[in-house]
Amino acid sequence: MAYAPSTARDRRHHEDIELNLLPFMNLMTLLIPFLLMSATFVHLAVVEAALPAIAHEKVGPVEDGLDLKLAVTETGFVLRGSGVFVLGTEVDDGFVAEFATLDELSFAAVQLKAQWPGETGFVIASDEGVAWHRLIAAMDVMRDAENADGSHKALFPHPVFAGGLSHPAASQ
């Protein structure tokens, strides 16, 4: 025997439920500006650089190449290379040139590129106390130079970081 449907549900009094959106709106008011402020508007720049490979055999000096090394110190910059360089002091296996400012280093890099147009790389090393921004600035100066018309000319675009060297002029 089937029972009649219950009317108990119909007897309950339905209240209109009021949805309180104020906490959600407060959350959105705080969250949207925070997300906008934390959005990434910074462009990361990547400088391609190679680390020196570990050699198991002794490698001799590079023949017919510049073999350019740059030491960044707290007081200046030291360029060392094979061959002859007008701005450098001649040593037994090449030249050594010291510069106090980035402008002097930039001028020397342009002169070196004019003398050695086929060279594209250099080894960069720094003393332990050198600030990172000073090292990057020196690397940027060696990589390219600005022409008089505002365009950039590539000088030595392939830096190689040297590990364990404190001063290329001191390593004979």
d(CA 156, CA 84): 18
d(CA 161, CA 81): 16
DSSP letters of 122-141? EEEEE-TT--HHHHHHHHHH
Q: At which residue do the structure tokens 């600005």 appear?
A: 146
Find out whether 139 and 124 touch, Cβ atoms under 8 Å.
Answer: yes
Residues of the chain with pLDDT under 70: 1, 5-14, 40-44, 47, 49-64, 163-172
Which residues are CB-contacts of 129 (< 8 A; sequence separation ≥ 6)?
Answer: 74
Q: What are the structure tokens assigned to 98, written together? A: 């010291």
pLDDT reported for residue 126: 86
For the chain, list the domains and their CATH numbers. 69-161 (3.30.420)
pTM for the full predicted model: 0.60
pLDDT reported for residue 150: 81
pLDDT, tens digit (0-9, with 9 covering 90-100), for 11-34: 666 677 888 899 999 999 999 988
pLDDT reported for residue 162: 82
Q: Which of 146, 124, 148 is nearest to 136 (CA)?
A: 124
pLDDT reported for residue 26: 93
pLDDT reported for residue 25: 93
Which residues are CB-contacts of 4 (< 8 A; sequence separation ≥ 6)?
Answer: none
pLDDT reported for residue 102: 92
d(CA 78, CA 8): 95
pLDDT reported for residue 15: 74
